[in-house]
Amino acid sequence: MKVKICGLSTPDTIAAAVEGGAAYVGFVFFEKSSRLVSVDTARALAADVPPGVVKVGLFVNPDDAALEAVLDTVPLDMIQLHGAEPPERVVEVRGTHGLPVMKALGLRDESDLTALDTYAEVADQILVDAKPPAGGEVPGGNGLAFDWRLLSGRRWPLPWMLAGGLEADNVQRAANLTGATQVDLSSGVESAPGVKDPALIRAFLKAAGAERPGPPHDGPGLP
């Protein structure tokens, strides 16, 4: 299984993720998140990420100036759009910034499944997360799970990733119910909101059977 640890902000948690076999590491550039990192911090952390581990930047409804302010300094490999970006904006971001785009989508019930099919036609990857609580200001990383059975038997012609409420003791069950071969988590390896715990990161990666692929190819669906 390929694992993405999102919301990393310190050298020791980067080391735990890399040494444990994470295929992706994520940096959050959303001002309302407890996991927000500055551009300078992200640049320094990215320098400790070896080739073969995909560096993902998480943005929420960014304009091009906000993306450029980060991309000019931080050597990201992939952009994650975690807001209400329409399909045409996904296409625009891919074309303007020259990086693969992962689009995160919230799922609560069967009525939300149509959007997954729509975005699968324009993104390089999709990330299926639980919908945030009504009125919530943070669209992801809330530690909420949805009914994983909604994804049973569903497949798309591009890589996809499961998120939402994952922990070391349920990741294999989630994978079995959904067929996911990639998972993403943030709050499941925290000792407090926004505070990653290296021991929890290592435990999750071990429980997930984390497997890092070889050096990424040049195609859009890294790795």
Instruction: Per-residue pLDDT tens, the chain, 223 aa: give them.
Output: 999 999 999 999 999 999 999 999 999 999 999 999 999 999 999 999 999 999 999 999 999 999 999 999 999 999 999 999 999 999 999 999 999 999 999 998 898 899 999 999 999 999 999 887 654 454 544 456 788 999 988 888 899 999 989 999 999 999 999 999 999 999 999 999 999 999 999 999 999 999 776 654 455 566 6
Number of helices and strands in the chain (H, E): 7, 10
Contact by Cβ (8 Å): 102, 77? no
The predicted model scores a pTM of: 0.90
Q: How far is CA 218 from CA 13, 52, 53, 215, in A?
A: 27, 12, 14, 10
SS3 (DSSP) at 162: strand
| Domain boundaries defined on the chain | 2-208
- Euclidean distance between the first and final Cα of the chain, in Å? 12
In sequence order, what E strands does the chain have?
Answer: 2-5, 24-28, 54-59, 78-81, 101-107, 125-130, 160-163, 182-185, 190-192, 195-196
pLDDT in tens, 4-24: 999 999 999 999 999 999 999
Q: Looking at 136-204, which runs of residues are DSSP E strands?
A: 160-163, 182-185, 190-192, 195-196
Domain 2-208, CATH class in plain words: alpha beta
Phi, psi of 45 (to 5 degrees): -65, -40
Name the 3-class secondary structure at 35: coil
Looking up tokens 């992801």 gives 140
Question: If you ran DSSP here, which 8-state letter would residue 166 be given?
Answer: -
- 3-state class of 153 per DSSP? coil
Q: Which amino acids are annotated catalytic? A: 6, 129
Structural contact between residues 198 and 154, judged by C-beta atoms closer than 8 angstroms: no
Packing angle, helices 171-178 and 198-208, rounded to 10: 40
